[in-house]
Amino acid sequence: MKIFIFLLALCPTLLLAADLRGRMGIGFTNQLANDLPALSLKIQQSKTFGIGGLLGFNSNEEATLYGAGVKFYRIIFDEPQLNFYLAGLIATQNYFDPTDDSTKTGYQVDGTLGTEFHFQGIESIGFSFEFGISARNTDPEEGSSFQTLGDNLLKAAVHFYL
């Protein structure tokens, strides 16, 4: 036991989660309810708090679709190469309504629990997955909805940290 404590004292950086304080992550997410892939930006403000933004758009001859939002992160637990967090997303977006060939604006509010992990040796890339609940108004057939969600690592986010 004393050897283990001695090793902990000598190598504290090997046993803590990736320290992302002050670093900016640039990547992508597919979390928008209108199914637009979005560019994602995440800045870890402190050891426990981060803020992010996302923006996606698609412009063609029929319509211009967009989605934009802000996301807040609160790290609740960390392990080697792994951060567990609570997150909140507030987004506005539009969607195409085929009933009258128009675009309409909706909203999305998500509350999730997630994790971001990093492979040892390449801490500059973070992969996330999340699950939680969502309130949204972005479907012309269903109107407003309240639902559970689960986002795998290719849907939640992948960030490259500078």
| Structural domains of the chain sorted by starting position, each given as residue range(s) with its CATH number in brackets | 2-161 (2.40.160)
Residue 17's pLDDT band (cuts 50, 70, 90): low
Residue 4 has pLDDT above 50, yes or no: no
Looking at residue 115, what is its pLDDT? 94
Token pair of 86 as six digits = 């609570």
What is the tens place of the pLDDT at every residue in 55-111? 999 988 878 899 999 999 999 998 888 999 999 999 999 987 777 778 888 899 999
Phi, psi of 140 (to 5 degrees): -65, -25
Instruction: Give how far Cα 30 sits from Cα of 81, 101, 145, Å.
Output: 23, 24, 19
CA distances from 146 to 52, 113, 138 (A): 23, 17, 11
- Report, as an integer, the average pLDDT of 127-144: 85
Whether 118 shows a pLDDT value over 70: the answer reads: yes
pLDDT of residue 7: 39
pTM assigned to the model: 0.80
- For residue 6, the SS3 value is helix
Q: Which residues contact 118 (CB under 8 A, 6 or more apart)?
A: 18, 81, 82, 124, 125, 126, 127
